[in-house]
Amino acid sequence: GNSVTQMEGPVTLSEEAFLTINCTYTATGYPSLFWYVQYPGEGLQLLLKATKADDKGSNKGFEATYRKETTSFHLEKGSVQVSDSAVYFCALSDQGNTPLVFGKGTRLSVIA
């Protein structure tokens, strides 16, 4: 079945450091891929998405490129801020009518 694997957290970075959170997936066909973010005390919200191979999703300085050859969708940001501290979830859809499949989440803490 479909699955998403994210790097284990927590990840702790200093402000202005470069961020990478790894995400790999297993799916049949050509899924769409998503990154959701959960700020403390809130529900998840969509950060970015990509719907086909080689697409790059971007938002708020975050980027992720859909790599079909490596079945990956790694999240990157060039310079993190304290306000980026949150839990990040990778997810996929199989283009069918079944709900999204989420990874377990990666907690990011950014210190000043």
Partner 1 sequence: DAGITQSPRHKVTETGTPVTLRCHQTENHRYMYWYRQDPGHGLRLIHYSYGVKDTDKGEVSDGYSVSRSKTEDFLLTLESATSSQTSVYFCAISAGRATDTQYFGPGTRLTVL
Whichever of 80 and 103 has its CB closer to partner 1, that residue is: 103
Q: Which residue in 55, 63, 65, 102 binds partner 1 (CB under 8 A)?
A: 102
Whether residue 95 contacts residue 32, with contact meaning beta carbons closer than 8 Å, is answered with yes
The CA distance from 74 to 65, in Å, is 7
Query: Would you count residue 3 as binding partner 1 (CB under 8 A)?
Result: no
| Contact status: 88 vs partner 1 (CB under 8 A) | no
Q: Cβ 103 to partner 1, closest distance in Å?
A: 6
Q: Which residue from 36, 50, 46, 31 is spatially nearest to 102, judged by alpha carbons?
A: 36
Distance CA 73, CA 55 (A): 10
Stretch that binds partner 1, among 11-19, 28-36, 54-62, 75-83 (CB under 8 A): 28-36
Q: Which amino acid is at 29?
A: G
**The one among 43, 69, 70, 112 contacting partner 1 by CB under 8 A:** 43
93 near partner 1, rule: CB under 8 A: yes
Quote the CA–CA distance of 85 and 57 in Å, as a whole number: 20
Per rule CB under 8 A, is residue 94 in the interface with partner 1? yes
Give the strand pairing for 56-59 and 62-65: antiparallel
Residues of the shown chain interacting with partner 1 in the complex, contacts defined by CB under 8 A: 32, 34, 36, 42-46, 49, 89, 93-100, 102-105
